[in-house]
Amino acid sequence: MLLQSWGGIIRIFPAVPDEWRDAAFHDLRAEGAFLVSAVRRDGITRFIRVRSLAGEPCIVRTGWTGIVRWRKAGTAAAEVTVDLGTKEADIALDLQKGEEAILYPDGELPDLRIRPVSPSGRPVRYFGGHKPWRLYGFPF
């Protein structure tokens, strides 16, 4: 699961399998009229972008520990630093309608481009095996 939103909290990558080292999503809708994008590389969430469509209160559970930085996009607003300590905690963002914030773990600002994740291995056919008769127009 890439995004979960209930109880007033937006959860980013709450149930991603360990095998999914890389994942990305763009503009998924969350409860409270938010558009959320995020990128995960090598099992670590690199950044999260939240855009408010209605100006509702926004609480994000990132899964990060330690120091987290966030700033409003498109403005000269100062960067905000939050120390979550050694446990995962929620971050409250004060966003007005139309504003967006970019969150990232301590360090330099990551590459904010969202790119498709390359597939690894062969495709898995969850709903049946190879059925060549469908290729030749045989009735079934």
Residue in this structure with the two tokens 């970019």, named with its chain if needed:
102
pLDDT at 110: 84
Report the SS3 class of residue 136. Answer: helix
Annotated domain spans of the chain: 3-109
pLDDT at 78: 77
pLDDT at 62: 92
pLDDT along the chain (140 residues), means of 10: 95 91 95 96 93 95 90 80 85 93 87 83 66 59
**Helices vs. strands in the chain: H and E counts, helices first:** 0, 10
pLDDT at 24: 94
pTM of the predicted model, to two decimals? 0.81
Taking domain 3-109, whether its CATH number is 3.50.30.50 is answered by no
Does residue 85 come out as left (phi exceeding 0), alpha (psi in the -120 to 50 range) or beta? left
Report the SS3 class of residue 102. Answer: strand
